[in-house]
Every structure is written in C-alpha cells, then in structure tokens.
Amino acid sequence: MNTFLIILGVVTLAAGVLIYRQRSNKIADSDNVLSPNVVKKANEKVQVTKQETSSEVNQIVEELDVLKKKTKSQLVDYAAEKGVKLSSRLKKADLVNEVYKLK
C-alpha cells in the first residue's frame, strides 16, 4: 500500500509541475489541452513515417505477389537474364526470395 501511495504521489507531483510550467508558458501549449507542442509535432512525424512505410510495404507485397505467380523455371530464367545462376532444385519460396534480391 505504501508503494502505491508513493507512486501516486510522484505521478501527481509530476502532473502538477507539468501543468504549472504550461500555465507559466515555460512549456509551449498553443491550444491549452495540456499536451505540449513538442509531443504533437512528434506525433505528426510518426504518422507521416507510418504512411510512408505502409506504402513501401504495400509495394513490396505487390512485387512479391507477381513473383509468386511465376513458375520455378521462369524464376530461374529471370535470374539467368540478370547474370545469376540459380538451381531449379531450390524451393519456389527460396527462388522467389533470391529473385527479389536481384531487383
């Protein structure tokens, strides 16, 4: 119980200091919702990075889907065109991975 009260006291103190500093304009808070502008900017950056990463992942998935639809001999032939000799004994999944590395 004492541990809980100590933690509660520390959190309350930290919240009080944050609110005081925001009210005294030492921490920027343009819209007065008790959320510092620095946190808002960081959140915006994370959202942009998330969108960029999501589009890159979707593009990679589409490329892999195209490669998965090819036969093993087509994958080996494509690798040969790129100057890499691959064995047709490899599993199709391994061939797809090797051909994707060539792109």
78/85 Cα distance (integer angstroms): 10
- Specify whether 42 is located in the same domain as 28: no
List the structure tokens of 95.
């061939």
pLDDT at residue 101 greater than cutoff 80: yes
- Specify whether 100 is located in the same domain as 82: yes
pLDDT at residue 76 greater than cutoff 80: yes
Cβ–Cβ < 8 Å for 59, 65:
no
Averaged over 64-80, what is the pLDDT?
89
- Specify whether 94 is located in the same domain as 80: yes
End-to-end CA separation in angstroms for the chain: 61
Domain that residue 8 falls in: 1-35
- Position 53 scores a pLDDT of 97
The CA angle 45-49-54, to the nearest 5 degrees, is 150
pLDDT in tens, 19-71: 787 777 777 767 766 677 788 889 999 999 999 999 999 999 999 899 899 89
List the structure tokens of 83.
């100057």
- Specify whether 14 is located in the same domain as 57: no
The CA angle 19-34-21, to the nearest 5 degrees, is 30
